[in-house]
Chain A
Amino acid sequence: MRSPALAIAWEFRQRHRWGLLAVGGYLLVLAVFKFAILEPGQPVSLDDAESFALAVVLPLTVACLYFLVVFSFGLSGDLAARPSLYPARMFTLPVTTTALAGWPMLYGSAAMAGLWLATRLLGVWPPHVDIPWAWPTLLAAVLLGWTQALTWMPYGLPGLRVIVTVLWLVVVDTIVLLALHVKASEAVMLAILSPQVPLAYLAARSAVARARRGDVPDWRGALARLGRIASVLPRRRTRFPSAARAQAWFEWRIHGRSLPVWVVILLPFELALLFVAGTDVPSLVVYTLFGVLLTPPFMAAFSVPRVRQSNRQVSDGYGMAPFTATRPLASAALIAAKLRMSVWSTLATWLLVVIAIPIGLTLSGTWPVVIERSRQLSDAIGTPRAVVLGLLVVSGLIASTWKQLVQSLYVGLSGREWLIRSSTCLTLAVLIFIEPIVQWIRASSYVRVALWNALPWMLAVLVVVKISAAAWVATRLYRSRLLSDRALVTGAAGWLVAVLALYGVLVWLVAGPLIPRYFLALLAILAIPLARLSAAPLALAWNRHR
């Protein structure tokens, strides 16, 4: 390599070759589909919105997000840290700051623009819709430029980077959407977007220059007063009564607060919809409350605690930190601390939700809608059942939040990069494909009938898989002596009691001629976590003793 520009390009290509190949492969598939499979000259018609979303919009969005992450060096740094996300190792290269900022921006902008142009050219677009060429190309470059500038900027507080970047990108998007809403011409769109490219570049160059000279502001001192207030809560000045309590505190400080914080950030935006709805749109009030109630379990899926390196410079990124691994605690006790922390985290989150909802309803004046809907439910199924149903829904959501936090614990605790990445890919794939699959099921009565008929068998197969996995895990736990016999028996008995209790409630609530009891029993067995939760000590031991 004869120039820094080529060296930087080589690094992007070499490090992300598989992702870039995947994007290239997707574009190749589009090209083959359009030019080889579809008859040449035949007008392309695509009226099915779901197919279009699946074939074009979704991959395009995923590829754009991937490019944003790759070209802002988002995979190599700590997004929440105060220092710049730009790799510090590059600051000592004999290259100007202009080049350090400029080349990644140029490559990224070219990649984003190329992605749009290729998708515009090769994608099968709905007929009679004029898909523009120029301004989306510019928008792609602008989004990347601002992402790079804002993520490379050093910040005074941890986490501030995420908030600033997301808010600014939302502002840019909102401006574009407003312009589209008023049917702005292509020229206006270009006029709005064009100045942002040099502005983003200047911001990025300034960010890299500051980072390069080690100019990282520290505003934590300004929060000292708040810190003193906060220290009353989590900071330990007294002695821990036991090692287990000490470890639970450790887990709480590392992982426990992330779920409540995420929910607190989201709640105001969600509850703001109550003010939009008022009492005029009762259905929106109900949907908003459902959304609020579903937020903790949904966010819990992204807040799963795992063993993480306290020192990113050592060993592999997913392995257990030696500091934690050398605690004189059994692996089962380390897991127990995580489970206890998950309970605290769940309760803290729901306490916030329970406080926020009445405040939102009171301030927005939408209590009457909730009272009216409650009265309707009470009239329909009777007051006792309505009350029990309400309590069950809330307690079910609380339990579901905890379940989300703990059931995938084993993946992160295993410390195996391939397992963690595979699990993440699988989750993303499910999230991506769930909506098209639901649409497919909704669209076909034949599929719905077939699924309904096969549902008991599908549930039965899942139960067999779950029980088999649990038996295998229990055998391994017994042989490895990670859990005592008493703990194993107590755990199994507790699980059985929980399943029977849930089954009893389900029978009381919904059993009837259309829903047989064995069906409810299968649901109860599947609902209570067992195999994956029990696998956590095995995964931790596998990670701790490699």
Chain B
Amino acid sequence: MGGSTVSESVITVSELTRRFGAKTALASVSLSIPRGAVYGLVGANGAGKTTLIKHILGLLRAESGSVRVFGLDPVADPVGVLSRVGYLSEDHDLPGWMRVDELTSYSRAFYPAWDDAYAEELRQAFALDSTARISNLSKGEKARLGLLIALAYRPELLVLDEPSTGLDPVVRRDILDAIMRTIADEGRTVLFSSHLLDEVERVADHVTMIHHGRIVLSAPLAAIRESHRVGDRIPSLDEIFVTYVGMPAAPAPDA
């Protein structure tokens, strides 16, 4: 991070197009996320959010266009990019055969900046038993463990791909708190994909709406609200979403 400025772009996506067979998942998507931003990526299921995030992580290769993270190509230099990124997916894909302490011990080997004290603080805050086998954890506990692994080395960029999907309100609150903590560390960036728009509204300072692989709206949240003001009434992000996409982003969460 040394020497970087606040306005520097952490993620730059230019004219990114991706097709899966006949389906166009992303169509000429361009995006620039500045350092220190909390970026909300919203869209209905199948809109292309996860595809875009996979390109940012280097899990998909750009068919046309380019993706740069910290100025690096994540496909050509996965170590340079991934060592600075914390990632939590909606699937909470963790090896079920490991125990919690084995996973933390294994993960810390990859990140020189791993903070043992912070990891332990998070483990206790999340009430995770260090000897528990991951396959025996509940979905919420797996999400918390995934979050612990993603945060414990204080990554410069935190990428959360629909992390709240299917989780109870307590775990969702933990995830939002984690985003807040990350923001509190100066210069850290968050890319947060969700179709739970109330959560995005709570934490994001910039929102990008994606629909059928195209960006239909991208602006600071305050500017979006202001531009959609009807008289004295400021519409919710959900209402704005319906305006652009023609349907709600997601059913209302349980709580």
Give me the interface of A with B, judged by CB distance under 8 Å.
235-243, 245-246, 249-250, 253-254, 310-311, 313-314, 321-323, 325-331, 481, 544-546
Contacts and interface: CB of A to CB of B under 8 A. Distances in A.
A327 B98 CA distance: 16
A242 B109 contact: yes
Which residue of A313, A323, A326 has the most chain B CB atoms within 10 A of its CB atom?
A326
**Secondary structure of the A side of the interface?**
loop
Interface string B73-85: 0011011011101
A545 B109 contact: no
A240 B106 contact: yes
Contacts of B59: 322, 325-326, 544-546
Interface in B100-126: 101-102, 105-106, 108-111
A326 B85 CA distance: 9
A63 B226 CA distance: 68
B146 to A, nearest CB: 9
Contacts of B82: 326-328
Given A321-B93, A323-B94, A481 B76 contact: yes
A323 B111 CA distance: 15
Interface string B51-68: 000000111110000000
Contact of A330 (B79, B85, B102, B105): B79
B105 A239 contact: yes
Contacts of B97: 253-254
A545 B58 contact: yes
18 contacts: A235-B99, A236-B102, A240-B108, A240-B109, A241-B109, A243-B110, A246-B109, A249-B106, A250-B106, A310-B94, A311-B96, A321-B93, A322-B87, A322-B91, A326-B87, A328-B110, A544-B78, A545-B60
A311 B142 CA distance: 12
A242 B111 CA distance: 10
Nearest to A320: B59
B89 interface: yes
A323 B93 contact: yes
B52 to A, nearest CB: 14
B75 to A, nearest CB: 4
B95 interface: yes
Given A310-B95, A322-B59, A546-B60, 10 more contacts: A245-B109, A246-B109, A253-B97, A327-B82, A329-B78, A544-B59, A545-B58, A545-B75, A546-B59, A546-B61
A385 B15 CA distance: 68
A235 B57 CA distance: 30
Contacts of B57: 325-326
B245 to A, nearest CB: 25
A330 B78 contact: yes
A329 B82 CA distance: 8
B93 A328 contact: no
A311 B137 CA distance: 14
Nearest to A240: B109
Contacts of A322: 59, 87, 89, 91, 93
A142 B87 CA distance: 51
Nearest to B90: A314
B18 to A, nearest CB: 10
Contacts of B110: 243, 246, 327-329
Nearest to B83: A328
Nearest to A238: B105
Contacts of A326: 57, 59, 82, 85, 87
B94 A236 contact: no
A239 B85 CA distance: 22
B124 to A, nearest CB: 19
A239 B116 CA distance: 11
A254 B203 CA distance: 39
Sort A-B residue pairs by CB-CB distance and give the 10 closest, nearest first.
A246-B109, A328-B83, A328-B82, A240-B109, A314-B91, A545-B75, A545-B61, A310-B95, A311-B93, A243-B110
Nearest to A543: B59
Given A240-B106, A253-B97, A328 B111 contact: yes
B212 to A, nearest CB: 21
A113 B197 CA distance: 58
A313 B82 CA distance: 24
A248 to B, nearest CB: 10
B91 A313 contact: yes
Given A544-B59, A545-B61, A310 B79 contact: no
A331 B77 CA distance: 10
A265 B61 CA distance: 43
B65 to A, nearest CB: 15
Nearest to B107: A246
